[in-house]
C-alpha cells in the first residue's frame, strides 16, 4: 500500500500461462481449505494472458484467501472464462455473502467483512486488490447474495501464445526491460487486440510505442520518425504493410527498419517482404523471435 500510494510501485507486463500462476497458488490454499472442511476446485486454463505476474498473483492470492476465510461450509471454485480477447478469472464461494449496500464499502481501507471473526487482518486485502487492479487496468467485479455466497471476477487481456520450449526464454528479465529503452516503435495494425498485445510487449521492453490503424494516421500523428516499424501485412481497404513502410520511409526520408507480420506463410508474401527490405515474422507472433531480430538490428 505504501509503495502504491507513493507512486513507486512499477509494473512489469509479461506474457505467460494463467495456469503457471494459478496452479501453485490453488495448491497452497487447498491445504487451508481442507483444514476447514471446504472443497477447493480449480478448473485449469492453458490460455496466455498479459499482466504483471507478481502483482496479479497478489490480487488472486487475496481473493482466494478471503474466499477460504469467509466460507464456513461448502466449496470454493476458481475458474477462467474466455470473453472476446480477454479472460475473466472468477473466484466463487458458498460463504456468508455481502449485502448489496456493503459491496462498494468492502474495497475501502480497514473495512472488515465480518467484525466478529477473530481471524482478521487489517482489512486491507480488498483495498490492495482494487488499487493494484486499477494500476494494471484490470477491471474487478463483485456479485454476491447475503447468506448464499460471492463471486469476485477480475478481467485480464489475453496474451501472445509462447511455445513451451521457448516460454522460459521469453519471460521478462533484467535485460528485457531495457531491450528497447530510448527507442520509438510505430505499430500499424488493423486489429485492436493485436495492437494491444504487441504494444504491451514492446512497452515491457522499454519502447515508446505509437500505434495506429493505418498509415495516414501514422503520418499525421506520429511526432517523430521511429527506430522500428511493426506492420501487419493485410490492412484495411486493400492496403498492405509493405505499402505503409514505403510511404513512411518516403515521408521521413529515412530507411526505417521494419518487421512485417502475417498469418499468410506463402513464398509470395515472404518474397515481397524481403524485396521491401523488411523482416518477416509469421503470426501468431513469438516474442523470442521478435527479440532476436531486435537484438540483431538495434544492438
Query: In the chain, where are the structural domains located?
Result: 2-157, 167-298
Q: What is the pTM of this model?
A: 0.54
For the record, the C-alpha cell of 21 comes out as 500462476
Equal fold, 2-157 vs 167-298: no
295 exposed, middle or buried (CB, 10 Å; 0-12, 13-18, 19+)?
exposed
Q: How many helices (H) and strands (E) does the chain have?
A: 10, 12
Instruction: Compute the residue count for the chain.
Output: 299
Name residue 30's beta-bridge partners.
none
Q: How far is CA 109 from CA 61, 101, 120, 125, 206, in A?
A: 18, 17, 14, 9, 33
The CATH architecture assigned to 2-157 reads 2-Layer Sandwich (3.30)
Q: What is the DSSP letter of 107?
A: G
For domain 167-298, the CATH superfamily is: Response regulator (3.40.50.2300)
Cα–Cα distance between 136 and 55 in angstroms, integer? 8
For the record, the C-alpha cell of 98 comes out as 455481502
Tell me the pLDDT of the chain (299 aa) as tens digits. 555 555 556 788 888 899 999 998 898 889 889 989 999 999 988 899 999 988 999 999 999 998 998 899 999 999 999 988 899 999 999 998 988 888 777 776 545 555 444 444 434 568 888 889 998 999 999 999 998 999 999 999 998 876 665 555 544 444 566 788 889 999 999 888 888 889 888 988 988 999 999 999 999 999 888 999 999 999 999 999 999 999 999 999 888 999 999 988 888 999 999 899 999 999 888 888 898 888 887 76
Of 114, 110, 142, 134, whose CA–CA distance to 124 is shortest?
110
Q: Count CB-CB contacts under 10 A for residue 208.
A: 17
Amino acid at each position: 500500500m505504501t509503495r502504491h500510494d507513493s507512486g513507486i510501485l512499477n509494473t512489469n507486463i509479461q506474457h505467460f500461462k494463467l495456469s503457471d500462476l494459478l496452479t501453485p497458488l490453488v495448491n497452497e490454499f487447498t491445504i487451508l481449505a481442507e483444514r476447514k472442511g471446504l472443497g477447493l476446485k480449480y478448473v485449469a486454463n492453458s490460455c496466455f494472458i498479459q499482466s504483471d505476474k507478481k502483482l496479479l498473483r497478489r490480487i488472486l492470492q487475496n481473493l482466494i484467501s478471503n474466499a477460504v476465510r469467509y466460507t464456513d461450509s461448502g466449496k470454493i471454485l476458481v475458474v477462467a472464462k474466455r470473453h472476446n480477447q480477454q479472460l475473466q478469472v472468477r473466484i466463487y464461494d458458498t460463504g456468508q455473502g455481502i449485502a448489496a449496500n456493503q459491496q462498494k464499502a468492502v474495497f475501502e481501507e480497514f473495512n472488515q467483512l465480518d467484525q466478529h471473526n477473530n481471524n482478521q487482518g487489517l482489512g486491507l486485502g480488498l483495498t490492495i486488490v482494487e488499487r493494484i487492479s486499477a494500476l494494471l487496468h484490470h477491471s474487478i467485479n463483485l456479485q454476491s447474495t447475503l447468506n448464499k455466497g460471492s463471486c469476485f471476477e477480475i478481467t485480464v487481456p489475453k496474451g501472445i501464445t509462447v511455445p513451451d520450449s521457448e516460454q522460459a526464454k521469453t519471460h521478462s528479465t533484467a535485460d528485457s526491460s531495457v531491450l528497447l529503452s530510448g527507442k520509438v516503435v510505430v505499430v500499424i495494425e488493423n486489429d485492436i487486440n493485436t495492437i494491444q498485445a504487441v504494444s504491451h510487449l514492446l512497452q515491457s521492453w522499454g519502447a515508446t510505442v505509437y500505434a495506429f490503424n493505418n498509415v495516414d494516421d501514422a503520418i499525421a500523428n506520429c511526432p517523430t520518425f521511429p527506430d522500428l516499424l511493426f506492420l501487419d501485412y493485410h490492412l484495411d481497404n486493400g492496403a498492405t504493410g509493405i505499402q505503409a513502410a514505403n510511404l513512411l520511409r518516403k515521408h521521413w526520408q529515412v530507411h526505417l527498419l521494419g518487421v512485417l507480420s502475417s498469418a499468410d506463410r506463402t513464398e509470395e508474401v515472404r518474397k515481397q517482404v524481403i524485396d521491401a527490405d523488411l523482416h518477416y515474422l509469421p503470426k501468431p507472433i513469438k516474442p523470442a523471435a521478435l527479440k532476436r531480430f531486435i537484438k540483431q538490428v538495434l544492438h
